[in-house]
Amino acid sequence: MTRRKGSCLCGALAYEIEGEFDGIWMCHCSNCRKASGGTGNAILIVNRARFHWLRGEDHRTTYTLRPTYSITRCKTCGTPLPAEEDETNVYLTAGTLDEPLGVGIKTHIFCGSRGDWDFDMDGARHFDERSS
């Protein structure tokens, strides 16, 4: 079975997911835009049985903004972490994966809340990753 690892920016927390996935969900709601500071949250929905903490599970802090929205972050670096809010699934922030997933975004949700700046302008420039 395929296993992929992920972690926070400082490395205090690490997890592993098992199996293949059919795509990422991109949430554009105003809560996710503010929590990420960007276009929204890219989420991988993982069955709880396929998710395992490797280290640092006790190094998390959760901010409950309302009964239907909370965000969990690393206590040291602030990386948004997998949310374990229901009994069935873990909602994993896709940017925390350390290894390629091999799929792209399959679903955009709350597009009516999308920032009016969330598009490429004509002539937008794209740069490859900086070499070390």
Q: What is the 3-state secondary structure (H, E, C) of the chain?
A: CCEEEEECCCCCCEEEEECCCCCEEEECCHHHHHHHCCCCEEEEEEEHHHEEEEECCCCEEEEEEECCEEEEEECCCCCECCECCCCCEEEEEHHHECCCCCCCEEEEECHHHCCCCCCCCCCCCCCCCCCC
Instruction: Give yes or no for residue 23 having a pLDDT over 70.
Output: yes
Q: What is the pTM of this model?
A: 0.84
Pairing of strands 3-7, 51-55: unpaired
Q: Which band of pLDDT confidence, cut at 50, 70 and 90, is reported for residue 14?
A: very high
| Token representation of residue 26 | 């991109």
pLDDT in tens, 101-110: 999 999 999 9
Instruction: Give yes or no for residue 130 having a pLDDT over 80.
Output: no
Q: 110, 29 in Cβ contact below 8 A?
A: yes
Report phi then psi at 67, rounded to 5.
Answer: -60, -25
On the 0-12 / 13-18 / 19+ scale of CB atoms within 10 A, 32 is buried
Determine the average pLDDT of the residues in 35-59.
93
